[in-house]
A and B are shown apart, each in its own frame.
Chain A
Amino acid sequence: MGKDVLTGVHFMSGNHACAEGAIAAGCRYYAGYPITPSNEIAERMSWRLPQVGGIYIQMEDEIASMAAIVGASWGGAKSMTATSGPGFSLMQENLGLAVMTEAPCVIVDVQRGAPSTGLPTLVAQADVMQARWGSHGDYATISISPSSPQECFDFMIKAFNLAETWRVPVVMLSDESIAHLSERVVIPEKKEIKTVFRKVATGPKEGFLPFKVGDDLVPEMPIAGSGYRVHVTGLTHDERGYPDLSHRMHEQLVPRLVNKIKQNAEKIIEYEEFMIDDAEVVLITFGVSTRICRAVVKRARMDGLKLGMLRLITVWPFPEKRVIELSNQVKALVTVEINLGQLALEVERVVKGRCETYLIPNAGGEVHDPEMVYARVKEIAQNS
């Protein structure tokens, strides 16, 4: 038997760390289609999964890849795929199916310059809204964003645990920069890694209601082949799983799927704060930009400027409560992201003018230059 947790100290790229994190989390099924800059994940999975009894399959496109991991999830495996912007677009259709049929799975989106083919080999963070709203209809899922190879490993475990707990697709918003940086990755012992498996149906088979929920709004999953003989559909359905195409049923189902995340947001949301207690201006950021913002905050503090950073670990759901608190404390909130203003829209929406809000954009291709960010922050601090 191959080793599923490579305990020890490694020097590893973000993409490889994603693959190892997935395997350590218990992922045993990968379906994908090659796309730059995510390929090292597929390559490593095709090598590693057979060693741990898992299955790697290369599908004909990203539509198929996403369909296959939803099928695999209902087949009882922890499943995943990895892609980049254009492939992520193709996955949106079946991501909706995963939402509607409550199939836990993980999608790594290694973001690159866009739109269209854009900058296939260069960094961006421009899929923030695609991760939130890419599929049709109202829904809520979870997106998390790593800022180092170590976090790639750790957050993949987090991603699978969140997917399994809430029975939703979880998007790992990585990017070309993190994907290709190598750094120290410490992999703990297997017994120290906490992994979660979905609540599996165990009750009597007669009259079982596969979509009946308790307080947490998450139903038990009757995995295919376990004898429950359930019907699972992407149509609006009742607790039996049978299609019910009425306004009344839709008004029950869709809000439940959204509330499953909304109502449990406090349990899901994670963020990191840096030098925030006395901050007058706070940078809001995520992913690789965290590193740039941290450098800028350190530099500002040396100059006596009261700058802090709120770094989102879960980009979605958005930490509304915390941002509202901050907006009452600080003069300005400054969003730093490698796009022309996506998360910034959410910040503005939540802040509702309680403090100044700014954006330091970057169309993509390179991470922000810390000196440029610092110069802009100084201006903002003086003017607010």
Chain B
Amino acid sequence: MSEIKHPSGKLVREDRMPHIFCPGCGIGGTISNIAEALLESGQDLDKFTVVSGIGCSGRAAGYFKLDGFHTTHGRPVAYATGQKLANPDLNVIVFSGDGDLTTIGGNHLIHAARRNMDLIVICINNFNYGMTGGQMGGTTPTLTKTTTCVYGNFETPFNVPLLMTACGANYVARWTSAHSHYIKKSFHEALEREGFRFIEVISACPINWGRRNKMRTGIDLVKFFLNQTVVKENPDPQDALIQMDTPILCGVFADEGRPGLLRSMHEVLSPKVKVEKFRGDGKIQVPETKEEEAPEIVSSPKKVEQVKIKLGGLGGQGIALLGLIMGRATCIFDGNEAVYSQEYGAEARGGASASSVIISSEKIDYPYIKVPDVMVLMAQAAFRKYKSEIQPGCTLFIDKDLVKPEDLPEDVKVYAVPATRMAEEVGRKVVANIVMLGFISALTDYISLDAVQSALKMSVPKGTEEFNLKAFQAGYEYGEKLKKEES
């Protein structure tokens, strides 16, 4: 017997023949159409990949002699999104079925269309789940029968071209598996465009759909398609719903020039980041970066006993920043250990919230504070909320005007500073936290002055360093004065 070579044999895995498709099935023909179009395109086929999901059409990836990825049910569009973005040099084609793409994978499909992801999607629509034996799905025409709607489908199917155009796909076309010529033409058009390109192919499934709907053979179905099909120029996707008594409207429903995702990404990001070549250009290898001098690590930090500081106030008072500066000063500039955490979640929304810092020369194991050694309170609401944690021996730093401590346990030292008022005098109320920081620095010694100031400078917005240092200085001097008065 002489060997008959398939015309698109160069692109089909002949070592996998015979394929799994049933006699009369439309999928094999569509694979051939795409393979032929690919060969005609003259492009570097090493740079094409085919990604499919699960189902009869999902097996397509296994028959193209390209890098092919047969993934999970419904997910090929998401998978392909990853592959294309990670390696924009690739031309990624998704080839899968209607159940896979529009039903279980519907969410991925609509979002890929919305973001105009640079993919070509070939959707074989055979009106049912063929691989699993012919169940109904999101594209089964109303009143037709499948194994899970034996009395006739009472649901309305997706109008797939309408769905895709509504989501913003750049290119949307529909043909039937009897339209080889148009399928190839559309594929060529898709190749020339960018963004999300979607071709629906209404495909004959004699075995699982035709048989139950009085079209037993592939020929019956092809006849049905040819009789029912209306090919139009600029068809309206509103008219593209497929029911048994309506025409199957075919044509190109959308051909927009919206930039593809990679181009949009490039346009927004490239001017804003200091990268010579943003990866949207197709480079996998990341360029080498120049080495810079590393800041020195403090070698012999001064010893401090563990101190647990809790800071409380209202949103907008910069309580979190206060804690962060203390942590940074300790870790980065003093070379000691610090753990910083913030009250997080529901309890931190509205009302008073707190953050906490633990400072020590030793590694800190338990990272939270049960009984604070120091409490810094900037609002009466915070005082009320955290009062129960104030134990004998605690040192309290408060905003003199905003916090009126009542019923304190014995042996609690209170240092008060009109931080907010002083901040207003310096120029802006928002630096009350920094006035407080200066005040605390004057009266405590677990963080060195240099360290606090360095951390302060790195933690405030650029250009406001001097202003913040002024606020710090005011608080510091107030504290120094208080210290002198006391001694």
Q: Please list the residues of chain A having a beta carbon within 8 angstroms of any beta carbon in chain B.
A: 1-5, 7-11, 26, 28-29, 31, 36-37, 50-55, 57, 59-61, 63-65, 67-77, 79, 93-94, 96-97, 101, 120-122, 176-177, 180-184, 186, 189-191, 222-235, 242-243, 288, 291-292, 294-295, 298, 367, 370
Contact = CB atoms under 8 A, between A and B. Distances in A.
For the complex of A and B, the 7 pairs showing the least CB-CB separation, nearest first, are: A121-B345, A71-B82, A68-B82, A72-B86, A75-B86, A64-B78, A295-B365
Most chain A CB within a 10 A radius of its CB, from B47, B67, B89:
B67
B107 interface: yes
27 contacts: A1-B289, A9-B297, A9-B331, A10-B332, A11-B332, A51-B274, A54-B279, A54-B286, A63-B108, A64-B75, A67-B78, A73-B82, A74-B83, A75-B284, A77-B87, A94-B72, A94-B75, A96-B72, A181-B341, A182-B327, A189-B291, A190-B291, A223-B87, A225-B90, A229-B65, A233-B61, A294-B365
Nearest to A228: B67
A149 to B, nearest CB: 9
Contacts of A53: 275, 277-279, 283, 286-287
Given A76-B284, A121-B346, A243-B62, A184 B338 contact: yes
Contact of B83 (A9, A71, A191): A71
B85 interface: yes
Nearest to B287: A1
Nearest to A179: B344
Given A67-B79, A79-B82, A231 B287 contact: no
A223 B285 CA distance: 13
Contacts of B283: 53
Contacts of B66: 229
Contacts of B289: 1-5, 52, 190
B173 interface: no
B338 A298 contact: no
A96 B79 CA distance: 13
Given A76-B87, A242-B62, 8 more contacts: A1-B276, A64-B75, A75-B85, A121-B346, A183-B337, A183-B364, A222-B67, A224-B49
Contacts of B51: 71
Contact of B275 (A50, A73, A186): A50
Contact of A63 (B75, B275, B297): B75
Contacts of A122: 345
B275 A69 contact: no
Contacts of B80: 71
Contact of A4 (B286, B297, B342): B286
Contacts of A189: 291, 294
Contacts of A31: 81-82
B342 A180 contact: yes
Contacts of B68: 230-232
B46 interface: yes
A291 B46 contact: no
Contacts of B338: 11, 183-184
A182 B481 CA distance: 33
B331 to A, nearest CB: 4
A77 B292 contact: no
Nearest to B85: A55
A29 B85 contact: yes
B69 A74 contact: yes
A220 B378 CA distance: 61
A55 B86 contact: yes
Interface string B50-72: 01000000000110011111111
B269 interface: yes
Contacts of B212: none
B295 interface: yes
Contact of B78 (A2, A7, A71): A71
Given A11-B324, A77-B284, A225-B49, A233 B62 contact: yes
A58 to B, nearest CB: 9
Contacts of B85: 29, 55, 57, 68, 72, 75
Contacts of A367: 366-368
A7 B292 CA distance: 8
Interface in B376-414: none
B429 interface: no
Contacts of B286: 4, 26, 28, 52-54
A121 B297 contact: no
The CB with the most chain B CB atoms within 10 A, among A72, A176, A182, is that of A182
A370 B286 CA distance: 46
Contacts of B108: 60, 63-64, 67
B107 to A, nearest CB: 5
Tell which of B68, B71, B327 has the most Cβ of chain A within 10 Å. Answer: B71
A51 B78 contact: no
A346 B16 CA distance: 44
Q: Which of A5, A50, A295 has the most CB of B within 10 A?
A: A50
B273 interface: yes
A181 B332 contact: no
Given A59-B81, A71-B81, A11 B366 contact: no
A94 B80 CA distance: 13
A368 B273 CA distance: 43
B111 interface: yes
Interface string B207-246: 0000000000000000000000000000000000000000
B336 to A, nearest CB: 9
B367 A291 contact: yes
Contacts of A72: 82-83, 85-87
B284 A230 contact: no
A186 B299 CA distance: 13
A76 B88 CA distance: 11
B195 to A, nearest CB: 15
A226 B13 contact: no
B197 interface: no
Given A7-B292, A8-B294, A75 B83 contact: yes
B31 interface: no
Nearest to B46: A227
Contacts of A28: 86, 279, 286
A55 B111 CA distance: 18
A75 B87 contact: yes
Nearest to B107: A60
A226 B13 CA distance: 18
Most chain A beta-carbon neighbours within 10 Å: one of B337, B341, B366, B368: B366
A191 B291 contact: yes
B284 A1 contact: no
A50 B83 contact: no
A350 to B, nearest CB: 27
Contacts of A227: 46
B84 interface: yes
Contacts of A63: 74-75, 78, 108
Contacts of B339: 181-183
B328 interface: yes
A366 to B, nearest CB: 8
A51 B273 CA distance: 5
A60 B340 contact: no
B143 to A, nearest CB: 32
Contact of B269 (A50, A94, A370): A50
B367 A177 contact: yes
